[in-house]
């Protein structure tokens, strides 16, 4: 079983993540992890925090001479902004007493619910952990999972397909459709849509507002049979949708054609199966998004997530002061105008983590040699029916 645990607050000294269950012998170039962290920091519409942080990972355990040892991998990411918050985030009570608390909860954040849940009178106790800063730790863990999937011939990619009221012409879901996305300011493959999206972000920024959007995550080269129909918590679609929904700000997730399937008849909704030698079994459509009955079916995995606008606004919304119970305006902290491009990178990470975990569940092995050997045997057994690299060309 592959599992991980993160720790650390948004303005604390550092974020940490421990990844357990990785096979021994996986090559882990640290610069690949740093590269994923850098991708998460980019994107048009990011706020001042990203001009302070330059995320780099420090390996504390589990990797020796460039390879995993089979023991837990511990990673640390320093919060450079902590120096500006050392008094607010002090472990001990400062000599002058604690700093003033945040008592005007922000609509759209976890401030109010968290304060009621824990009994705290300071939203800081809630927001520091509810912050999306935590996703940097998951991005680091996901980078290691992506390295494992690479060794098995599986590639995970993402792109932005909507920001605010502007949608791109996404076209077919193929590896080529994701080429060059990281060079675009909003990680959109459609240049004209990208131009309009950046304009929407500029306008929202000028008006003290924020924007959400939709991103797509796809995985190519995934063999059929990963996941299980046996129990609810082993169904891969449930695990993947839950992982994406766990990213702060995500309010909707769909697999394949998703919600549009609800408006179709069954005769049009499902992906018919064909066979052709030596091609093997194939589909001409992929409305199921590569998942049927909780298992991969050999087509590309396709998932989309809808992100709400960031709730910390330059022009704060109405709230209630929890000390006086009088009307108030929500407090303001430094925030992005739009974080959809960054959320897409985090989406890759959480999908990679769940997919890698499911692959390890199926093929097992204490070492990469054991894992790849088991996979090779499986691919040989189904080789007459499923050919890796034969994908649908339409959605």
Which helix or strand (DSSP H or E) is residue 201 part of? Answer: helix 191-206
Whether 116 maps to a domain, the answer reads yes
- For the chain, percent of residues with pLDDT exceeding 90: 85
Burial 145-157 (b: 16+ CB within 10 A, else e): bbbbbbbbebbbb
114-172 per-position pLDDT tens digit: 999 999 999 999 999 999 999 999 999 999 999 999 999 999 999 999 999 999 987 77
Q: Element (H or E) spanning 162, and its range?
A: strand 155-163
Report pLDDT digits (tens) over 56-79.
999 999 999 999 999 999 999 999
Q: Count each helix (H run) and each strand (E run) in the chain, helices first.
A: 10, 17
Task: Pick the closest to residue 98 from 82, 83, 87, 114 (CA basis).
Answer: 87
Mean pLDDT over 335-346 rounds to 95
Other CB atoms within 10 Å distance of the CB of residue 379: 15
Q: With contact defined as beta carbons under 8 Å apart, do 1 and 361 qualify?
A: yes
Instruction: Calculate ∠ Cα 162-183-218, nearest 5°.
Output: 55
Asked whether residue 387 is domain-assigned, the answer is no
How far is Cα 229 from Cα 227, in angstroms, rounded to an integer? 7
Q: Which position has the token pair 């048009």?
A: 44
| Domain assignment of residue 395, yes or no | no
- pTM given for the model: 0.94
Taking the CA of residue 206 as centre, how many other CA atoms within 13 Å lie in the half-sphere pointing to its CB? 6
- Using left for φ > 0, alpha for ψ between -120 and 50, and beta otherwise, residue 228 falls in beta
pLDDT at 49 over 80: no
| HSE, side-chain direction, 13 A CA sphere, residue 18 | 7
Task: Determine, yes or no, domain membership for 342.
Answer: yes
- How far, in Å, CA of 161 to CA of 385, rounded? 34
Distances (CA, A) of 230 to 233, 234, 320, 337, 361: 9, 7, 47, 43, 14
In a domain, 158, yes or no: yes
HSE (CB half, 13 Å, CA atoms) of 37?
26
Sole residue written with tokens 């849509």: 193
Q: Are 139 and 342 in contact (CB under 8 A)?
A: no
Counted domains in the chain: 1
Tell me how far apart the terminal alpha carbons of the chain are, to the nearest angstrom: 33
Residue 386 belongs to some domain of the structure: no
Question: Helix, strand, coil proportions of the chain in percent (round to 5)?
Answer: 35, 20, 45
- Write down the pLDDT at residue 395: 37
Show the CA angle centred on residue 112, arms to residues 108 and 113, nearest 5°: 95
pLDDT confidence bin for 52, thresholds 50/70/90 = low
Question: What's the confidence (pLDDT) of residue 393?
Answer: 43
pLDDT score recorded for residue 394: 40
Q: Across-strand partners of 295?
A: 227, 292
The CATH number of whichever domain residue 315 belongs to comes to 3.60.150.10
Measured between alpha carbons, how far is 356 from 348 in angstroms, rounded to an integer? Answer: 12
What is the rounded CA–CA span in Å between residue 324 and residue 317?
Answer: 18
Range of the domain at 296: 3-381
Q: What is the pLDDT of residue 192?
A: 95
Place of tokens 């993160």: 6
Residue 38 · residue 55 · CB < 8 Å: yes
**Does residue 48 register a pLDDT over 80?**
no
Element (H, E) at 280: strand 280-283
Residue with tokens 């609810």: 232
pLDDT at residue 335, as a whole number: 80
HEC string for 41-76: HCCCCCCCHHHHCCCCEEEEECEECCEECCCCEEEE
Mean pLDDT of the chain: 93
User: Are the C-beta atoms of 342 and 40 separated by less than 8 Å?
Assistant: yes
> Does the residue 237 lie in any domain?
yes
Print burial letters for 38-59: b (CB count within 10 Å at least 16), e (below 16). bbbbbbbbbbebbeebebbbee
Tell whether 341 is covered by a domain.
yes
The pLDDT-based confidence of 390 (bands split at 50, 70, 90) is low
């Amino acid at each position: 079983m592959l599992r991980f645990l993160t720790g650390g607050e948004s303005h604390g000294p550092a974020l940490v993540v421990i990844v357990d269950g990785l096979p021994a012998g996986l090559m882990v170039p640290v610069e690949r992890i740093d590269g994923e962290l850098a991708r998460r920091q980019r994107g048009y519409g990011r706020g001042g925090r990203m001009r302070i942080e330059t995320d780099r990972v420090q390996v504390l355990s589990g990797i020796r001479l460039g390879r995993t040892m089979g023991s837990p991998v511990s990673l640390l990411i320093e919060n450079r902004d902590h120096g500006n918050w050392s008094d607010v985030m002090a472990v001990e009570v400062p000599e002058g007493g604690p700093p003033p608390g945040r008592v005007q909860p922000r609509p759209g954040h976890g401030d109010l619910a968290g304060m009621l849940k824990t009994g705290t009178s300071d939203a800081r106790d809630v927001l520091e952990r509810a912050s999306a800063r935590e996703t940097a730790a998951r991005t680091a863990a996901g980078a290691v999972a992506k390295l494992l999937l690479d060794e098995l011939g599986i590639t995970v990619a993402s792109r932005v397909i909507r920001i605010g009221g502007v949608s791109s012409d996404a076209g077919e879901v193929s590896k080529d459709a994701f080429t060059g996305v990281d060079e675009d300011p909003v990680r959109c493959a459609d240049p004209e849509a990208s131009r309009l999206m950046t304009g929407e972000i500029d306008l929202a920024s000028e008006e003290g507002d924020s924007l959400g959007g939709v991103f797509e995550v796809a995985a190519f080269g995934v063999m059929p049979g990963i996941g299980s129909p046996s129990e609810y918590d082993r169904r891969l679609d449930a695990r993947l949708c839950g992982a994406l929904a766990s990213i702060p700000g995500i309010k909707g997730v769909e697999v394949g054609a998703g919600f549009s399937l609800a408006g179709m008849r069954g005769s049009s909704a499902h992906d018919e199966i064909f066979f052709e030698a030596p091609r093997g079994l194939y589909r001409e459509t992929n409305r199921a998004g590569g998942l049927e009955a909780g298992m991969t079916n050999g087509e590309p995995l396709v998932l989309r997530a809808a992100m709400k606008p960031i709730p910390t606004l330059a022009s704060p919304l109405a709230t209630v002061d929890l000390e006086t119970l009088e009307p108030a305006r929500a407090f303001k902290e430094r925030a992005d105008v739009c974080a959809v491009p960054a959320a897409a990178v985090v989406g890759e990470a959480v999908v990679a983590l769940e997919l890698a975990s499911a692959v390890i569940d199926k093929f097992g092995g204490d070492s990469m040699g054991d894992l790849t050997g088991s996979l090779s045997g499986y691919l040989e057994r189904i080789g007459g029916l499923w050919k890796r690299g034969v994908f649908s060309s339409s959605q």
